[in-house]
Amino acid sequence: MEVNTNDKGEIVVKLQVAIDRVSIEKAIEIIEEVKDYADIIEIGTSLIKDFGLESVRRIREKFPNVTILADIKTVDEAEYEFEAIYKAGADIATVLGCASLETIRICKRVANKYKKDYLIDLIEVSKEKQEALKEFNDGIICVHMPSDNNGQDLENLINSSIENLKSFNRLAVAGGVTKDNINIIKEYNFHIAIVGGAITKAKDIKKEAKELKKLLGDEKNGSF
């Protein structure tokens, strides 16, 4: 597994800010607050469900230089969905790990065609299926604590998953990431920490993004 480090040899984790359940206008306001600290801006599933491809188009037009992940959670119709989201302006698109291997292969093929990236979401994916996903080592693999699993601990999920994921080149983690568990995320050499409400619902969004970025390594270099 590759590890990102800064000039001091310290582990650097990319910050992805997930924006959900707001209007496009509010999303743009949030991005203005966090763009100096976020390595990736995630247009969340609910935002895309509410406003469709227009949410991606408008945010791309407003922020031509940010890295945009569109969390479309494809599970079928892979070619159509991935083509559409890349044409709308996304740099990264997501597919559920529970999808068929052929669906994920199509996602990979379309991503390569557009010279874009793809992320496989491991939400509720068995260890057996995770083993089968090793053919997609060029993608980003995301350990994801479901938001509906109230009371479950992200640290336990990481501990139970990490051994099976060490052969993947890029690991992301989502679902309950806060200042309190940054240390374990760095300890296990995750490359991307996906943070939603801890930033977007904060009283001072910019301050929270800045502080989290500092804890993650305080560097941005455009490579992940």
Predicted pLDDT of residue 193? 96
Detail the DSSP E strand segments found in 127-224. 140-144, 170-174, 192-195
Per the CB < 8 A criterion, the answer to whether 89 and 56 are in contact is: yes
Type and span of the H or E element at 16: strand 14-19
Share of the chain above pLDDT 90, in %: 74
Predicted pLDDT of residue 158? 83
- Backbone phi and psi for residue 99, each to the nearest 5 degrees, phi listed first: -65, 165
Among candidate residues 1, 3, 53, 43, the one with its CA nearest the CA of residue 19 = 43
Given a cut of 70, is residue 52 above it in pLDDT?
yes
The angle at the Cα of 95, spanning 94 to 97, to the nearest 5 degrees, equals: 130
Of the listed ranges 63-72, 122-131, 146-155, 176-185, the least confidently predicted one is 146-155
Per-residue pLDDT of 12-50, as tens digits, reads 899 999 999 999 999 999 999 999 999 999 999 999 999
Per-residue pLDDT of 126-177, as tens digits, reads 989 999 999 999 999 999 987 776 656 778 888 878 888 888 899 999 998 9
Task: List the domains of the chain with CATH numbers.
Answer: 14-216 (3.20.20.70)
Given a cut of 80, is residue 73 above it in pLDDT?
yes
Distance CA 18, CA 185 (A): 17
- Backbone phi and psi for residue 35, each to the nearest 5 degrees, phi listed first: -60, -25
Given a cut of 70, is residue 87 above it in pLDDT?
yes
Given a cut of 70, is residue 211 above it in pLDDT?
yes
Predicted pLDDT of residue 176? 86
Residue 37: CB partners within 8 Å, gap ≥ 6? Answer: 15, 206, 209, 210, 212, 213, 220
- Tell me the pLDDT band of 10, cut-offs 50, 70 and 90: low
